[in-house]
């Protein structure tokens, strides 16, 4: 309790009493300042797949200091002999500090032996599949993963094996073993759900999962780039690439119809299907940019956890910052010597992709003597238009108004 500070006011201890039954497990929460209502503790522990048997609260009032609280809870766990205590304690603290969502996927911490950041991978894929138009609800997919914890663990293992910058093992045996176990799943719906997770992970091209914040901890958001055509049941038209960004506060997607594309970023209030909204805008952007750049792009985000005093324009800056810093799709990547550079912990499976900012793709003025072999060229990281000489064959058509009908206005 003396080590608790103003910023870190919570610590937990999962322990087995010295005197008691072999399956007796207790969970102690030490809290400084504001007390913790039991009605807020129970949902977190229930989603971690534990049952609360009793509670013993204690209030400690030091001389001249803020009061502290000790909550000693008796738990019954599904497995009591091989518990990862650190993972359980970190998962509870992450949910309580709103760094992780409080949903049914947290059951995988005990059932599958996953850590809280590893559960975030499956949660982000689940959110992404929901945006692509899957017919299964999130609660149904959570129950499916909870009934197949071994497959859930292997899905996370495949994700980490494909993108870990420190180790790049051969993923073919992992994929073959996963497909063998998926064929043994009896339920047709569960087989479709688990195959959807597998195909989404195999369609990923890069991710920021292994990047860290300035303090050395995991980032608050997870982003991954996907080859859209590789995801089954993806609604048409297929973007060439898309970047999905997930965090408990903000979710967003950036759809790009080509390697070089022009588009903007907008706020969407359609939380359940904002990708459908962005997909329609990307189609319109392709038509709009037909004579400007090769194709179009569009991005959108939703605020999942708005601030109490948030207005339509207030959260724009932090939300856009979270989305723009997650991938190079918002900030332009300037290649040098024909290659695009990535951070050391940014693992990519593609050799070269170019992405351009919506605000900075506006064509700068060029002299008429600039050599150009095609209507479009890339120079110094900027998309530039060709001189009028390369576009002489382009004509404009005047559209006549419809003939007026007698008696009409």
- Please tell me the predicted confidence (pLDDT) of residue 146: 94
pLDDT tens, position by position, 120-155: 999 999 999 999 989 999 999 999 999 999 999 999
Q: How confident is the model at residue 343 (pLDDT cuts 50, 70, 90)?
A: low
**pLDDT of amino acid 202:** 95
In the chain, how many H helices and how many E strands? 10, 13
- According to the per-residue pLDDT averaged within each range, which of 21-25, 61-65, 397-401 is highest? 61-65
pLDDT at 366: 42
Give me the pLDDT at residue 20, please: 63
Cα distances (Å, whole numbers) of residue 57 to 19, 33, 73, 165? 20, 14, 8, 46
What is the residue-averaged pLDDT of the chain?
77
What is the predicted pLDDT for the residue at 363? 40
Higher pLDDT, 331 or 261: 261
- Phi then psi for residue 220, to 5 deg, are -75, -10
What is the residue extent of each domain of the chain? 1-97, 115-202, 222-348
| Residue 347 banded pLDDT, cuts 50, 70, 90 | low
**Residue 28 reports pLDDT greater than 90:** yes
Which residues sit opposite 58 in a β-bridge?
70
**What does the pLDDT average to over 59-76?**
88
Query: Long-range contacts made by residues 129-135, C-beta under 8 angstroms, separation at least 24?
Result: 129/196, 129/197, 129/200, 130/272, 131/244, 131/253, 131/273, 131/274, 131/275, 131/276, 132/231, 132/233, 132/234, 132/235, 132/275, 133/233, 133/234, 133/235, 133/273, 133/276, 134/196, 134/233
Percent of the chain with pLDDT over 70: 72
Q: How confident is the model at residue 62 (pLDDT cuts 50, 70, 90)?
A: confident
The alpha carbon of residue 198 and the mean position of all alpha carbons in its chain are separated, in whole angstroms, by 16
What whole-number distance in Å separates Cα of residue 136 and Cα of residue 144? 10
Q: What is the mean pLDDT of residues 39-67?
A: 90
Query: CA–CA separation, 85 vs 77, rounded Å?
Result: 12
Quick one: how far is CA 364 from the chain centroid?
Answer: 34
pLDDT, position 407: 58
- Judge whether residue 364 has pLDDT over 70: no
The CATH number given to 222-348 is: 3.40.50
Mutual orientation of helices 138-147 and 116-131 as an angle, nearest 10°? Answer: 140
pLDDT band at 7 (very low <50, low <70, confident <90, very high): low
Query: Which residues have CB under 8 Å from 272's CB, separation 6+?
Result: 130
Residue 12, C-beta contacts closer than 8 angstroms, at least 6 positions apart:
27, 28, 29, 30, 89, 92, 93
Q: What is the pLDDT of residue 377?
A: 34
Inform me whether the pLDDT recorded for 233 exceeds 90.
no
Which sequence positions are flagged as catalytic? 298
Q: Is the pLDDT of residue 336 over 70?
A: no
Average pLDDT over residues 316-322: 44
How far is it, in rounded angstroms, from Cα 226 to Cα 4? 42
Sequence-ordered list of residues with C-beta below 8 angstroms from that of 307, at least 6 positions apart, any chain? 314, 315
Query: How is residue 404 annotated by DSSP?
Result: P
CB 303 within 8 A of CB 398: no
- Residue-wise pLDDT for 69-90, tens only, equals 999 999 988 764 578 889 999 9
Give the pLDDT of residue 335: 36
Query: What is the reported pLDDT for 104?
Result: 94
* Range 318-342 average pLDDT: 40
Here the contacts of 89-98 (C-beta below 8 Å, separation 24 or greater) are: 89/12, 89/13, 89/14, 90/115, 90/116, 91/48, 91/115, 91/116, 91/119, 92/12, 92/27, 92/44, 92/45, 92/48, 93/10, 93/11, 93/12, 95/44, 95/47, 96/10, 96/44, 97/10, 98/248, 98/305
pLDDT, position 348: 52
What value does the mean pLDDT take over residues 266-289? 87
Predicted confidence band of residue 344 (pLDDT cuts 50, 70, 90): low
Q: Token digits for 358?
A: 């919506």
What φ, ψ does residue 199 adopt, rounded to 5°?
-65, -35
102-116, 203-217, 391-405, range with the lowest pLDDT: 391-405
Q: Do residues 263 and 256 lie in contact, with contact meaning Cβ atoms separated by under 8 Å?
A: yes
Res 324: pLDDT: 42
Query: What was the pLDDT predicted at 378?
Result: 34
Nearest to 127, CA basis, from 246, 40, 16: 246
- Residue listed under structure tokens 């290659």: 339
């Amino acid at each position: 309790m003396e080590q608790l500070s103003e910023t870190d006011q919570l610590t937990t201890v999962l322990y087995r009493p010295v005197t008691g039954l072999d399956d007796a497990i207790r969970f102690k929460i030490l809290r400084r300042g504001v007390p913790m209502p039991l009605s807020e503790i129970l949902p977190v522990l229930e989603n971690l797949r534990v049952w609360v048997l009793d509670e013993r609260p204690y209030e400690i009032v030091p001389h001249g200091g803020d009061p502290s609280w000790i909550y000693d809870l008796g738990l019954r766990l599904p497995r009591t002999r091989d518990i990862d205590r650190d993972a359980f304690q970190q998962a509870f603290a992450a949910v309580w500090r709103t760094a992780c969502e409080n949903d049914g996927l947290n059951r995988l911490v005990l059932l599958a032996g996953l850590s809280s950041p590893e559960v975030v991978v499956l949660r982000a894929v689940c959110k992404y599949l929901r945006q692509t138009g899957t017919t299964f609800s999130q609660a149904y997919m959570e129950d499916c993963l909870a009934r197949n914890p071994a497959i859930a663990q292997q899905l996370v293992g495949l994700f980490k094996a494909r993108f870990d910058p420190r180790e790049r093992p051969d993923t073919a045996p992992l994929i073959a073993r996963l497909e063998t176990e998926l064929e043994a799943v009896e339920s047709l719906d569960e087989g479709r759900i688990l195959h959807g997770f597998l195909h989404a992970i195999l369609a990923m091209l890069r991710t920021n999962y292994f990047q860290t914040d300035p303090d050395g901890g995991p980032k608050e958001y997870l982003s991954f780039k996907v080859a859209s055509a590789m995801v089954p049941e993806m609604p048409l038209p297929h973007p060439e690439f898309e970047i999905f960004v997930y965090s408990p506060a903000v979710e967003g997607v950036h759809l790009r119809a080509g390697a070089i594309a022009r588009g903007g970023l907008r706020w969407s209030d359609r939380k359940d299907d904002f990708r459908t909204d962005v997909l329609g805008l990307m189609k319109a952007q392709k038509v709009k940019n037909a004579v400007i750049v090769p194709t179009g792009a569009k991005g959108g985000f939703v605020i999942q956890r708005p601030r109490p005093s948030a207005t339509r324009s207030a959260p724009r800056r932090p939300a856009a910052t979270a989305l723009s810093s997650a991938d190079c799709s918002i900030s332009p990547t300037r290649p040098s010597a024909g290659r695009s550079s990535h951070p050391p912990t940014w693992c990519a499976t593609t050799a070269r992709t170019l992405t351009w900012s919506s605000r900075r793709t506006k064509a700068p003025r060029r002299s008429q003597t600039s050599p150009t072999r095609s209507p479009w060229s890339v120079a110094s990281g900027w998309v530039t238009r060709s001189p009028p000489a390369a576009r002489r064959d382009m004509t404009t058509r005047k559209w006549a108004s419809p003939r007026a009908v007698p008696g009409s206005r």
